[in-house]
Amino acid sequence: MTEVDPRQSPRAVLHDIRYSRFAGRLQPRRSAVGSFVASGIRRPLGLRRSAGAKVWPFLLLAAAYLPALAVVAVPLLVPAVQVQPTDLIGYPQLLTTNSVVLLAFVATSIPSMLTRDRRDRVLSLYFATALSWVEYVVGVVLAAVALLALIVLGPMLVLFVGSIATADAPGTWFADNAGDLPRIVGAAALVVLFHTSLGLAIGALTSKRVFAVGGYLAVVLVGPTLTGVVAAVTGADWPLSLDPASGPIRLATTFIGGGLGDPGVLAWVVWVVVVVGGFGVLAGRYAKGGDA
Amino acid sequence: MDGPEGLRAPVLECVDVGKRFGAVQALDGLTMSLGAGATGLLGANGAGKSTLLRTALGLTRPDRGSVRILGLDTVRERSEVRRRVGFMPEHPCLPNDMSAQDVCVSLARMRGLGRRDAVRRTSEVLFAVGLEEERRRPVGSYSLGMQQRTKLAQALVHGPDVVLLDEPTSGLDPAGREEMLAIVRRLSTELGIRVVASSHVLDDIERTCDEVVVLRSGTLAAQRPVLVGHDPSGPAELRVSGDVGSFAAALEPRVAPFGVSLAPTATGDIGLSSSPDAALDAVRDLAADLGVGVERLAPAARGLEDVVVDAMAGGTR
């Protein structure tokens, strides 16, 4: 065994942390935008914030995952129960059950992703020295999509994976039901894109968080009432297609079976108008690249 | 980083820049070129200082003319401008619920630094502005001076070639102001970062900058170097009581041996071409001999304050 010369192997290293000019290599822009997206996901969840900031978002997350976890946990923990989780609650029912949680999460998190930056007046910093307006808008949209996927897609994936785990022959069950996976993702994408676009568009139209939250709630709470009244008066189902709260859910359930009835072409038109229009509002609001 | 061309290019170059907000003409045919290591922008409220900085950053698009920063067009080359420029806004611009550490790391990452570089650079800049001990506290709990230093730290974190500082001492108490001025001066003198700082306060500019630019109503009113002190034996102006002409006639042969010539000034005083100590002694002795009072004996060169006050009031450049 060789002796280590202590003079050649210092036990501690002194780092000079005084300011120096940065001469390192810059990452590609996608990495910078990825960092912005990660930051955009962390803030609404209260990560790297006080404990109080985590309470509401994690309460909603728990409420969203509870049904799926419960129906998976029962057959897993109680061997006597020989039932598949998807027999206890199907994907359409899970989506419908979580719709209230989703609306609450969107109202309190998505519009404020934009209003918060304007409240903090941080946009001039971003646009002057960090991000282009396109990178900003893309980053916010991706962060919002990821957050809502956590609420909408996550529980359905838990149900899917839990069903594999609780199946008598997991391999066979997966082979038989693998086709559900793209349908689940497609259904979740319909709901997530709709509410991302709606929430961000409303958030882009005002700098006050309270107005943004109120505006979104007004749309998703007053909308069903109005469309319900019109449907009752006319005796037709088409007004229900205009309902911003249940409309995207109705479309999504057509993907995953056991739907709430045929949503009709009008529901698709409304979906496209809201999604395209919402992103258009967002782009129009920030296209100047200023902070007004 | 700054290549040889970037170093040669003027920090900020404006050619016939105009910008109007409704009825207000914020910039009106502004043409100038800033080349000093540190330049101070002076002007009254509404003179166009902030609009000029925002235009230089690409936040505001000029109605006419062109603005180049480090030789980069601020409209067409914004991504490169973002990479090479740091900005410290005057207004509060930091998320109150984030720590200074998180703010700087986050902005450094958005500006393209890798995770490890961003953390290391954040430590360096927070150390440089004196916030290393408080870096994990939320910005909302900081004093105004600490918030200003955090804003400066974020402006430096990506290693810019030039930083634009909008009223860096705004709202600071005397101690905080002293600290901020010392840091700003270090940027150009020790760290090699070119600085453009706007301010209302001439003293701040004199202490931190090499050149001063005065804006008035969106136009260039004055541009001159900040001189530290003046030549004590340079031209001087003399005002005496009594008959100025006879005093000058008597003085001329006494100061001529020292190479000093006399000429009347525009205000009717006696102008001395230079003011060596011997010539000043001769003035004193002659005044005593003739029983004449010396009312004023001052350097003829106008001080920075005179130039700035004249320019802001509408005088010539």
- Can you tell me the distance from the alpha carbon of B12 to that of A290, in angstroms, rounded to the nearest whole number? 20
Measured CA to CA in angstroms, residue A84 lies from A67, A168, A169, A175, A184 at distances of 14, 9, 12, 16, 17
Joined together, the tokens standing for residue A220 give 């998703």
pLDDT beyond 60 at B110? yes
Spatial separation of the C-alpha atoms in residues B167 and B204, rounded to whole Å = 10
- Tell me how far CA of residue B53 lies from CA of A90, A277, B1, B13, B87, in angstroms: 58, 34, 22, 12, 9
Nearest by CB to B110, from A21, A50, A131: name it.
A131
CB atoms within 10 A of CB B2: 18
Mean pLDDT of chain B: 88
Residue in chain B nearest A117 by alpha carbon: B95
B128 contacts A23? CB cut-off 8 A: no
> In angstroms, rounded to a whole number, what is the distance separating the alpha carbons of residues A36 and A201?
19
CA B169, CA B197: separation in Å to the nearest integer? Answer: 10
- With a pLDDT cut of 70, the percent of chain A lying above it is 90
pLDDT at position A264 is 78
User: In this prediction, does ipTM exceed 0.90?
Assistant: no
Supply the pLDDT for residue B1.
Answer: 43
Provide the percentage of residues in chain A whose pLDDT is more than 90.
60
* Range with the poorest average pLDDT among A7-11, A58-62, B287-291: A7-11
Interface check B127 vs A, CB under 8 A = yes
Q: What is the pLDDT of residue B200?
A: 85
Res A5: pLDDT: 62
Interchain CB contact of B83 with A (< 8 Å):
yes
* CA angle centred on B188, ends B183 and B194, rounded to 5°: 120
Contacts of B136 in chain A (CB under 8 A): none
pLDDT at A9 over 50: yes
Give strand pairing partners of B73.
Answer: B68
The tens digit of pLDDT for each residue in A125-157 reads 899 999 999 999 999 999 999 999 999 999 999
Interior angle at CA B209, CA B314 and CA B121, nearest 5? 135
Confidence (pLDDT) at A267: 87
* Residue among B78, B113, B123 minimizing CB distance to A26: B113
pLDDT in tens, A211-254: 999 999 999 999 889 988 998 898 888 888 888 888 898 889 88
Please check the confidence at residue B120 and state whether its pLDDT lies above 70. Answer: yes
Contacts with A53 from chain B: Cβ below 8 Å: 97
Residues A65-85, mean pLDDT to the nearest whole number? 88
Q: Please list the residues that pair with B21 across neighbouring strands.
A: B24
Say what the pLDDT of residue A269 is: 92
Q: Is the Cβ–Cβ distance between A130 and B110 less than 8 Å?
A: yes
The two three-digit tokens of residue A134, written as one number: 């396109």
Residues contacting residue A25 through CB under 8 Å, at least 6 positions apart:
B114
B62 and chain A: CB distance < 8 Å anywhere?
no
Secondary structure E strands in chain B: 12-21, 24-34, 38-42, 64-69, 72-73, 85-88, 162-166, 194-199, 211-216, 219-225, 236-240, 262-264, 270-272, 294-299
Q: How would residue B133 be classed by pLDDT, with cut points 50, 70 and 90?
A: confident
DSSP state of A239: G
Instruction: Tell me which H or E stretch contains B103.
Output: helix B100-110
Q: Which residue of B has its CA nearest to A39?
A: B106
Q: Could you report the per-residue pLDDT of B56-78, keeping only the tens digit for each?
A: 998 899 999 999 999 999 989 98
> Is A106 in contact with A274 (CB distance < 8 Å)?
no
What does the pLDDT average to over B123-151? 90
Per-residue pLDDT at A290? 61
Q: Are A231 and A240 in contact (CB under 8 A)?
A: yes
- Beta partners for B120? none
Q: Yes or no: say if A43 and A144 are a contact pair by the CB < 8 Å rule.
A: no
- pLDDT beyond 50 at B5: no
Span B191-243, pLDDT tens digits: 889 999 998 888 899 889 999 999 999 999 989 888 755 667 888 889 998 88
Based on the number of CB atoms within 10 Å of its own CB, is A137 exposed (0-12), middle (13-18) or buried (19 or more)? Answer: buried
The answer to whether the Cβ–Cβ distance between A289 and B58 falls below 8 Å is yes
Contact list, A48 vs chain B (CB under 8 Å) = 98, 102
* Band of residue A16 on the pLDDT scale cut at 50, 70, 90: low
Please say whether the beta carbons of B121 and A22 come within 8 A.
yes
Chosen for mutation from A119, A125, A131, A142 (greatest number of chain B CBs closer than 10 Å) is: A125
- Burial readout B172-195 (b: 16 or more C-beta within 10 A, e: otherwise): beeebbebbbebbebbbeebebbb
Are A17 and B125 contacting, i.e. CB atoms less than 8 angstroms apart?
no
With a cut of 50, say whether residue B316 has pLDDT above it. Answer: no
The angle that helices A133-166 and A170-177 make with each other, rounded to 10 degrees, is: 130
Strand order in the sheet with B294-299: B262-264, B270-272, B236-240, B294-299
Phi/psi at B50 (nearest 5 deg)?
Answer: -65, -40
Residue B12's contacts (CB-CB under 8 Å, 6 or more residues apart) are B32, B33, B34, B39, B56, B67, B68, B69, B196
Least confident of A11-20, A194-203, B100-109: A11-20
| Nearest alpha carbon to residue B166 among B199, B144, B195 | B199
Both tokens of B94, joined, read 């930091």
- Angle at A141 (CA atoms; ends A135, A147), nearest 5 degrees: 130
Pick the more confident residue, A81 or B194.
B194
Q: How much is the average pLDDT of A166-193?
A: 92
B12: left (phi over 0), alpha (psi -120 to 50) or beta: beta
Of the candidate ranges B141-145, B159-163, B186-190, B303-307, the one whose mean pLDDT is the lowest: B303-307
Q: How many CB atoms lie within 10 A of CB B227?
A: 13
Mean pLDDT, to the nearest integer, of A25-39?
93
